[in-house]
Amino acid sequence: MLGSVKGFLTFISFERGLMLFMIAMGATFLVAQNPTLTEATYLGFVAFCLWSGVDAINNVYDVDLDMKSDSFRADFTRSLGRFGIIISLAIFALCMALGLITGIQLVT
């Protein structure tokens, strides 16, 4: 079970997504005139979903290249099969849906 969780977290590149989440929150506080924690968290979540979806798509299509750099992630991606592309597209669609809900031009 822990191998599956670790594989999924590396598949969506959780660490980099968390980094972008925090950067987006900080940028919201710096740029917005009246920032609130909910707006910053929301935009951070959108950035996290966007990065995770894009990185997951990259992992699906570059699985042979990943065999040399990160064999664990490549093996996990191969084990997902077609379900991997469905996961990545679902995360990407979630990001776009969240962007459309806000109506903020920079998000969509």
Answer whether 60's CB lies under 8 Å from 88's CB.
yes
Residues 3 and 26: their CA atoms lie apart, in Å, by 32
Residue at token pair 């924690």: 37
Instruction: Calculate the average pLDDT of the chain.
Output: 80
Q: Per the structure, how many domains does the chain have? A: 1
pLDDT at 3: 67
What's the pLDDT band for 108 if we cut at 50, 70, 90? very low
Position 64 pLDDT exceeds 50: yes
Query: Where residue 42 falls among pLDDT bands split at 50, 70, 90?
Result: confident
Residue 45 sits at φ, ψ, to 5 deg, of -65, -40
pTM recorded for the entire structure: 0.74
Which domain does 34 fall in, by range?
Answer: 2-102
On whether residue 92 sits in a domain, the answer given is yes
